[in-house]
Amino acid sequence: MNLPDFCVGVTGLNMTDSPAPGVAVMRCIKEGFKNRFTGIGFGYDSMDAGLYERQFFKHVYLLPYPSEGPENLLERILTIHKKTPMDVIIPTLDAELFNFISIRKDLQKEGIMTFYPTKEQYEMCAKIKLHVLGEKADILIPKTSVEKELKKLSAGIENIGFPLMVKGIYYDAYLAYSYDEVYRFTRKIVSRWGMPVILQKYIRGVELDVAALGDGEGGCIGYVPMRKLIITDKGKGWAAVTINDQKISALVSRFFSATKWQGPAELELIKEEGSDNYYLIEINNRFPAWIYLSKAAGINLPYLTVLMARGETVEKNQPYKIGVVYNRGTCDLVFDMKQLEIMNMEGELHYE
Amino acid sequence: MNKQLTDITVSDTGFVFNPSTGQTFLLNKTGLFLVKLLQSGVSVKKFPACLEKEYHIQQKEAREDIREFLSLMRDMGFKVEDI
């Protein structure tokens, strides 16, 4: 019998110095399936390098930007689905998740399965509401002030004290030591992402990160904690090692129990210097760009996400290997101008 | 027994990995000898005599080096006694 390939679509294909997770997620899934598998890539810009990673994707398409709303996203995905039927779709970008949550039922009606957080979970983990989750799950959150108006910024600064982090609602975070710096970073953030901005007490310490997958019932299918070994000037982890820390394990368990999290998550933590306190800095509703480390450490979290989306029974609390290191490298993707032309003119490319 | 010390992985080359913090560091031959003593639960009070026996170093001279080594271990977050 000649069964069709199982087809998974993944978004987030930019591969800059702050890369999106899509290519790493697809690498994990492809290695999980081994054969009879087709990968579809979704980018937002014809220069998203992942669109030209033909080793992982058979078909690549451009999607409308998240600002165009859920209706346009659905229309585009269903058009693609007619050409290249998909079984599962995995979004990997913060800015697009709300749209994907809005169209979840429509996708399911068309036979496209998903396994990402609910609207309530999405809202619960917003940077501006993190302290509420902290109280619920008994997790330390740095002192935070959400500023909706520029004129109230100085009150927020006084409330938090220096040094502090100035953060945008989706992206960007800067460390500020003075009023001047706070105002400068705020203007920069507002020009890109608008208000509000988030002021957060800076916690000095070791940067840790956790990639995890929740079963949607309060359990954890698996998680991989790491310590960053190299941090770029943008604050991104460029090398890391998997670790075994019982306090992180307990924190992750409390998080899943309190949120009944469904799907992928990234928990960014700091272990405070000179104390045994672990602060939760941020939660992302998606896998991190370093997710291939999970596969390398023995838990292929993106592949397990596909299995969960398919409704399969998956073993919980899967173990991982400690002391597995990743060190990110870069390579230049070379392709013909014709491919760039097709991507720009038609918004899709097909590799065979 | 100090669990912090028994949990760390120490290779014969002197490369050390702490699985709970992700820290790695390198030890010289003497440092490696001392960490292995710590892992075996030998009291730090006995370290000068151990060094004298292994490397023929005068105990008085060894004592200062051991103190400095233990201080470095504490700086790296290990709970070790002073000599």
Task: Give me the domains of chain A, ranges plus CATH numbers.
Answer: 7-115+332-350 (3.40.50.20), 121-125+204-327 (3.30.470.20), 143-201 (3.30.1490.20)
B20 touching A, CB under 8 A?
Answer: yes
* Nearest one of A98, A73, A89, A79 to A6, comparing CA atoms: A89
Cα(A333)–Cα(A320) distance, rounded to whole angstroms?
Answer: 32
Taking residue A332's Cβ as centre, other Cβ atoms within 10 Å add up to 5
Answer yes or no: are the C-beta atoms of B79 and B4 closer than 8 Å.
Answer: yes
Instruction: Check A323 against B20: CB less than 8 A apart.
Output: no
- Please name the residue of chain B whose CA is at the shortest distance from the CA of residue A239: B22
Q: How many CB pairs under 8 A join A and B?
A: 27
pTM of the complete model beyond 0.80: yes
| DSSP state string for A192-221 | HH-S-EEEEE---EEEEEEEEEEESSS-EE
Residue owning tokens 């004290």 = A161
Out of A226, A229, A245, closest to residue B20 by CB = A245
Cα(B54)–Cα(B71) distance, rounded to whole angstroms?
Answer: 22
pLDDT on residue A3: 62
- Please name the residue of chain A whose CA is at the shortest distance from the CA of residue B17: A323
pLDDT digits (tens, 9 = 90+) for B33-65: 999 999 999 999 999 999 999 999 999 999 999
* Nearest one of A147, A126, A271 to A204, comparing CA atoms: A271
A246 touching B, CB under 8 A?
Answer: yes
Residue A165 bridge partners (DSSP): A175, A200
Q: Could you tell me if residue B62 is inside a domain?
A: yes
Which structural domain, as residue segments, surrounds residue B39? 3-75
How many residues does the structure list for chain A? Answer: 352
pLDDT digits (tens, 9 = 90+) for A139-173: 999 999 999 888 889 999 999 999 999 998 877 88
Token pair belonging to A322: 């400690």
Instruction: Check A227 against B23: CB less than 8 A apart.
Output: yes
Out of A206, A245, A323, closest to residue B17 by CB = A323
Q: Could you tell me if residue B82 is inside a domain?
A: no
So what's the ipTM on this one?
0.78
Q: Could you tell me if residue B80 is inside a domain?
A: no
Residue owning tokens 């051991």 = B66
Handedness of CA A14, A49, A31, A73 (dihedral sign): positive
pLDDT on residue A20: 96
A226 touching B, CB under 8 A?
Answer: yes
Q: Could you tell me if residue B39 is inside a domain?
A: yes
Confidence of residue B30 (pLDDT cuts 50, 70, 90): very high
Token pair belonging to B66: 């051991």
Chain-centroid distance, C-alpha A153: 29
pLDDT on residue A64: 97
Instruction: Check A243 against B24: CB less than 8 A apart.
Output: no
Å from A207 to nearest chain B CA?
Answer: 10
Answer yes or no: are the C-beta atoms of A169 and A128 closer than 8 Å.
Answer: yes
Instruction: Look over chain A and give the mean of its residue pLDDT values, rounded to a whole number.
Output: 94
Cα(B53)–Cα(B48) distance, rounded to whole angstroms?
Answer: 9
- Count of domains forming chain B: 1
Residue predicted with more confidence, B83 or A296 = A296
Q: Which residues of chain A have pLDDT under 50?
A: none
B23 touching A, CB under 8 A?
Answer: yes
Q: Could you tell me if residue B63 is inside a domain?
A: yes
Q: Could you tell me if residue B83 is inside a domain?
A: no
